[in-house]
Amino acid sequence: MQVLKYLLEHRTHPTADEIFSSLVEEMPTLSRTSVYNALRAFVEAGLVKVVTVEGDKARFDADMKEHGHFRCSRCGRVYDFGFSFEGLQWEGLEDFEVESKELYLRGLCPECKLDNKKKKGGNGNGESSRDATSW
């Protein structure tokens, strides 16, 4: 139950290893296998979903309502955002049965975008703040 409690209290989309590292300090007898087994049971019970915004790394989310995920390509953080699939048109899938709908976006979070802007001395759009005629 500590694993589920952690997910409900930390909406950071952690990996199994991140959950283990955080909980082992307060539960020294905890094993990685126990964390993986708990996560699998929660996913199978529909209490937690797997978020795979990085391709090879499974993250976990206890927010089961429909929403999208945004991964910052610089800092790696994963953010939730509101989104509804209702009303979207799916072309070319007439004979398919959709079992899962997920929306993942990648880019720069506001903090990293601002940091990029400061480092480049630009306006945050990848353009220099210097007038092109001032050369």
Q: Residue 5: what pLDDT?
A: 95
Same domain, yes or no: 80 and 111: yes
Select from 36, 40, 56 the least CA-distant residue to 48.
40
Lowest mean pLDDT among 33-37, 82-86, 110-114: 82-86
Calculate helix-pair angle for 32-44, 16-23, nearest 10 degrees.
120
Same domain, yes or no: 48 and 7: yes
Distance CA 119, CA 10 (A): 31
Residue 50 parent element (H or E): strand 49-51
Q: What is the mean pLDDT of residues 8-34?
A: 94
Top pLDDT among 99 and 135 is at 99
Q: Are 13 and 78 in contact (CB under 8 A)?
A: yes
Same domain, yes or no: 27 and 80: no
Q: Is the pLDDT of residue 125 over 60?
A: no
Under the banding of pLDDT at 50, 70 and 90, the label for residue 126 is very low
Residue 135 located in a structural domain: no
Same domain, yes or no: 12 and 48: yes
Same domain, yes or no: 79 and 60: no
- What is the span of the domain harbouring residue 2? 1-64
Same domain, yes or no: 11 and 55: yes
Top pLDDT among 119 and 55 is at 119
Under the banding of pLDDT at 50, 70 and 90, the label for residue 123 is low
Same domain, yes or no: 55 and 96: no
Same domain, yes or no: 91 and 37: no
Residue 132 located in a structural domain: no
Does pTM top 0.75 for this prediction? no
Identify the domain boundary among 64, 93, 119: 64
In the chain, the number of structural domains is 2
What SS3 state is found at 92?
Answer: coil
